[in-house]
Amino acid sequence: MATLEIRDLHVSVEADNATKEILKGVDLTVKQGETHAIMGPNGSGKSTLAYSLAGHPKYTITSGSVTLDGEDVLEMTVDERARAGLFLAMQYPVEIPGVSVSNFLRTSATAVRGEAPKLRTWVKEVKETMAGLQMDPAFAERNVNEGFSGGEKKRHEILQLELLKPKVAILDETDSGLDVDALRVVSEGVNRVRETGEVGTLLITHYTRILRYIKPDFVHVFANGRIAESGGAELADKLENEGYEAYVKGGASA
């Protein structure tokens, strides 16, 4: 069973010629089939956690470890991490000029699966997955993220999640900027992947709204660069009612 283990992770960034520590000792274990929601106020370090796990060059790991099934993730390049089974659905995916969605998806699936998918079954697979996300087939001929609306970008991220079938999926604020209809469609896509029982999901969000569609097994409150409190789904209800205020104050005095 695939397991992502994060131990005492410290991460810093260079900003204005100064080093700023953002993650201050994160401990978390995500197992295949589990869904963990990470919730927290702006600036608490949630997205930094997501991008550090994916290997974004902006972030420097100063101490701690991350392993996937015992393999050292931090030693891997960005593409090696993806091929090992990590997937990050980004909050702000970038435009890639000159590369069509269909070409991108096929290249990516070939890299992750280790061989080119058979053309006939692949076309069908993409078509059906796109239909499930209520995406127009013409979408495949557009350049990656070029001129996409906010909702189209998120659907495209979840399309990749469904096609690449990672062991651990990190969803960075996938719900932000979506209207209710789009949120429902995107959540259904995530749930299809979860229902296979083969993916561990790390759902990073600012709002509790998405948790009505995607039920977490665990909820973690992120504040001041670490997990401040962990609990079950009921913790989300508490946050819904009380907000993050208690944690922010706690962080400030720490």
Partner 1 sequence: MAEAQNFPAGSTTTGSIAVAAESTVATRMSAPPSFDVADFPVPHGREEEWRFTPLERLRGLHDGTATATGGGVKVAIEAPEGVTVETVGRDDSRLGKAGIPVDRVAAQAYSSFEQASVVTVAKEAVLTEPIRIAVHGEGGVAYGHQVVELGAFAEAVVVIDHTGDAVLAANVDYVLGDGAKLTVVSVQDWDETAVHVGQHNALVGRDASFKSIVVTFGGDVVRLHPRIAYAGTGGEAELFGLYFTDRGQHQEHRLLVDHNTPHCKSNVAYKGALQGDGAHAVWIGDVLIQAAAEGTDTYEMNRNLVLTDGARVDSVPNLEIETGEIVGAGHASATGRFDDEQLFYLQSRGIPAEEARRLVVRGFFAELVQQIGLPDVEARLLDKIEAELKASV
Site residues for partner 1 per CB under 8 A: 54-57, 77-79, 81-83, 87-88, 90, 93-100, 103-104, 107-108, 111-112, 143-144, 160, 164
We find the least distance from the C-beta atom of residue 54 to partner 1, in angstroms, to be 5
Tell me how far, at minimum, the Cβ of 199 lies from partner 1, in Å.
16
- Least distance CB 169 / partner 1 (angstroms): 12
Would you say 105 or 203 has its CB closer to partner 1?
Answer: 105
Residue closer to partner 1, measured from CB, 112 or 223: 112
Smallest separation (angstroms) from partner 1 to the CB of 201? 17
Q: Which of residues 95 and 242 has its CB atom nearest to partner 1 in the complex? A: 95
Name residues whose C-beta falls within 8 Å of residue 80's C-beta, 6 or more positions apart in sequence. Answer: none
Residue 20 CA to residue 14 CA, distance in Å, equals 6
Tell me the angle at which helices 119-132 and 180-195 cross, rounded to the nearest 10 degrees. Answer: 130
CB of 19 to partner 1, least distance (A): 20
Number of residues that this document lists for the chain: 254
Minimal distance, residue 208 CB to partner 1, in Å: 27
Identify which of residues 173 and 224 has a Cβ nearer to partner 1 in the complex: 173
Rounded CA gap, 11 and 67, in Å?
Answer: 16
Strands 218-223 and 200-205, by their bridges, are unpaired
CB of 105 or CB of 178, closer to partner 1 = 105
Displacement of CA 34 from its chain's centroid (Å): 14
C-alpha distances in angstroms, 59 versus 4, 169, 172?
Answer: 19, 19, 16
> Judged by CB, which is closer to partner 1: 7, or 83?
83
Q: Which two tokens stand for residue 112?
A: 């992750």
Nearest to 130 by CA among 113, 112, 155, 108: 155
